[in-house]
Amino acid sequence: MTRFSRREFLESGGTLAGAGAALGLGAAWPRAIDAQTPRETFGAPDMVVHNARVFTVDDAQPMTEAFAIKNGRFVAVGSNDDVRNLIASGTDVIDADGMTVMPGFTDAHCHPGGVRELTGVNVNFRTIPEVLNALRTKAATTPPDYWVRGHMYDDTKFREGRPVTRRDLDEAVPNHPAAVDHRGGHTSVYNSKAFEMAGVAVDTPDPFGGHFFREDGELTGKVAELARREVDRIGRTAPITRETRQAGVAFISKEMTKAGITTVHQTHGATTALVALQDAYAAGELHFRMYFFPSGGSDCYAGLKAAGVRTGFGDDWLQIGGVKYGADGAASERTMRMSTPYVGRPDDYGILTMDQDEIHEATEDAHRNGYQIGIHANGDVAIDMVLNAYERVQREWPKPDSRHRIEHCSLVNDSLLRRIKTVGAIPTPFYTYVHYHGNKWVEYGEEKMRWMFAHRSFLDYDIPVAPASDYMPGPYEPLMALQSMVTRKDFDGRVWGANQRITLDEAIRICTMGGAYASFEEQKKGNIVAGKLADFVMLARDPHNVDPDTIKEIPIARTVVGGKTMYEG
């Protein structure tokens, strides 16, 4: 049994950073952290889990049977006999009945606002009439001039085999401005009323970083990237109150813990989002731990920076993460910027949304002001530009262990991989995309798919990989992620880039320790080790013992964050 004793604690220098080193968890923690570790021998545990198959993600003791929790941390991890000896009156004893337990999962890149989920029109349907019906129903109770908007739209999932068009939307919603927003977040389809109010016609030129799609001398309705601003500025939207935002956080954090997620990195947000998190936390409604990235260029980031707040400010539940920017288009919406064109569109190399100077400027600002930076870069061209900036700041103002991140980092090659390793950057490749978005990969082709979402390559180059759904664009369920990374199979069983398959244990490590590393917290959480935060998940079946094509179907039995049960199936 490993047990975090008073003696070890004192010998370690009385801080958790030292404790981490004493426990063989690597280099000393670089930043100040809380000191909630018990100063006395821990006494009666609050919770004991026994009779489990515990996959600890700790090389010193990879598998065990039981553990004890006190004050939100693991205090003992070992055999049934050892841990049962610690049970006292008042200990909550959980007999796992042979179930599998793992560290809680992190989603290190997603957008879980919760407000759209609570108030918008969810159009995650498989037929176009269902989408139109949902919008029609909403329009019936929406005042004139107010937007009717659907979210979770996905152009490639319809039985009709075609996307929603302007004409479809006109038929369902003729009198309001209306749109469906792609779950990828980079394109929308608008109706004629919206274009008319915005003064956008077929001959309106494309703005920088955006595109109005046209066909046969007409607008199709589809609009990409920054061109959407030209349309979105018109129309009215019901005000979203502070209470609604708080309710959104409560809702989505509860939903995500149902899937086994215990930590979330919200990779961009405004002040209102940060306030909502704080409100939900204060009200006891925050179910997961949050590492929050203010958006680059936002008042939120400017204000935090001016106040001297840096990456890591906060506590174990809510902290300021890095600052977030976006340099190119999307993988799932086929707008990312590549050095070679899309299949069937020889002139289409995708879209950049920042130029090299802007990337340099943003990186220098973050790096010199104590911020980790996360720049969205999907295509190899965008990744190269981001690496140029990361290499430059480390040359000019060296700061080891900056852990700057390349958000998504979808299409790589050997030279990019070498540079990522050398500069110490962290990629956050999509973890459910191969499975969920498989039908989109035909537009990249088999050769590119050998280098996309390159989990195997990152591990081979010894690059620390973070787990990322990009929800809403991708499903966040970590068990679907494990299945996707292990099988590289889509919904129809087609395999995409088999060379990038990884083992189940590698995938589990990415979803746990990989997430902790990406927020500088690998000595606080990410595995089941005495002294660490007691975040874990209990699964009804062991994913090691099922057909890999069915991992996503395993029910989550329980999710515990900081020793508190947040979900029980």
Measured at the alpha carbon of residue 304, what is the angle toward residues 299 and 305, in degrees to the nearest 5? 100
* Minimum separation from the CB atom of position 420 to Zn ion (A): 19
Q: Residue 380 or 470: which CB sits closer to Zn ion?
A: 470
Name 381's Cβ contacts closer than 8 Å, sequence gap at least 6. 328, 337, 338, 339, 349, 350, 352
Show the tokens assigned to 411: 């299409």
User: Whose Cβ is closer to Zn ion: residue 225's or residue 470's?
Assistant: 470
Q: What is the dihedral of CA 465, 387, 488, 126, to 10 degrees?
A: 110
- Based on CB atoms, which residue is closest to Zn ion, 78 or 374? 374
SS3 259: coil
Give the nearer residue to Zn ion in terms of CB position, either 470 or 477: 470
With 0-12 / 13-18 / 19 or more C-beta atoms within 10 angstroms meaning exposed / middle / buried, residue 141 is: exposed
Query: What count of other Cβ atoms lies within 10 Å of the Cβ of residue 140?
Result: 9
Long-range contacts of 131-135 (CB under 8 A, 24+ apart): 131/164, 131/168, 131/180, 132/164, 132/168, 132/169, 132/171, 132/172, 133/172, 135/169, 135/172, 135/173, 135/178, 135/180
Closer to Zn ion by CB, 65 or 470: give it: 470
Least distance (Å) between residue 472 CB and Zn ion: 9
In the bound state with Zn ion, the residue whose beta carbon lies nearer, of 408 and 524, is: 408
Please report the DSSP string for 104-132 in residue order.
Answer: PEEEEEE----HHHHHSEE---SSHHHHH
Nearest to 272 by CA among 302, 245, 312, 307: 245
Give residue number: closest CB to Zn ion.
470
Distance separating alpha carbons of residues 480 and 435, to the nearest angstrom? 8
Identify which of 49, 48, 106, 51 has the alpha carbon closest to the alpha carbon of residue 468: 106
E strand intervals along 183-260: 187-190, 210-215, 218-225
Give the Cα separation of 113 and 273 in Å (integer).
7
Closer residue to Zn ion, CB minimum distance, 100 or 484: 484
Looking at the Cβ atoms of 116 and 176, the one nearer to Zn ion is: 116
Identity of the residue, 326 or 531, whose beta carbon is nearer to Zn ion in the bound complex: 326
Report the residue number, 326 or 543, with the smaller CB distance to Zn ion.
326
| Nearest by Cα to 166 from 219, 229, 225 | 219
3-state secondary structure 469-529: CCCCCCCCCHHHHHHHHHHCECCCCCECCHHHCCCHHHHHHHHHHHHHHCCCCCCCCCCCC
Query: What does each C-alpha distance from 205 to 193, 199, 209, 212, 356 come to in angstroms?
Result: 19, 12, 12, 8, 24
Q: Minimum distance between the CB of residue 431 and Zn ion, rounded to whole angstroms?
A: 13
Smallest gap, in angstroms, from Cβ of residue 296 to Zn ion?
13
User: Using CA atoms, how far apart are residues 250 and 6, in angstroms rounded to an integer?
Assistant: 37
Minimum CB separation of residue 297 from Zn ion in Å reads 15
Minimum gap (Å) between residue 489 Cβ and Zn ion: 24
Which residues on neighbouring strands pair with residue 261, listed in sequence order? 105
Give the integer Cα–Cα distance in Å for 517 and 331.
25
Report in angstroms how near the CB of residue 109 gets to Zn ion at its nearest: 6
**Residue 224 C-beta-side C-alpha neighbours within 13 Å:** 21
Q: Is the peptide bond before 99 cis (omega within 30 degrees of 0)?
A: no
Closest contact distance (angstroms) between CB of 42 and Zn ion is 40
Q: Which of 227, 228, 237 is nearest to 147 (CA)?
A: 237
Q: Which of 405, 109, 106 is nearest to 263 (CA)?
A: 106
> What does the block give as tokens for 8?
């070890």
User: In 10 A of CB 198, how many CB atoms?
Assistant: 18
Output 76 or 323, the one with its CB closest to Zn ion: 323
CB of 293 to Zn ion, least distance (A): 10
- Smallest gap from residue 365 Cβ to Zn ion (A): 20
CB of 333 to Zn ion, least distance (A): 12
Query: 470 vs 521, which CB is nearer to Zn ion?
Result: 470
Give the whole-angstrom CA distance, residue 84 versus residue 1.
12
155 or 470: whose CB is closer to Zn ion? 470
Nearest distance from residue 358's CB to Zn ion, in Å?
A: 18
Binding site for Zn ion (CB under 5 A): 470
Nearer to Zn ion, 403 or 408 (CB): 408
Nearest distance in Å: CB 533, Zn ion: 25
* Smallest separation, CB 470 to Zn ion (Å): 4
| Pairing relationship of beta strands 53-55 and 100-103 according to DSSP bridges | parallel
Question: Radius of gyration of the chain from Cα atoms?
Answer: 24
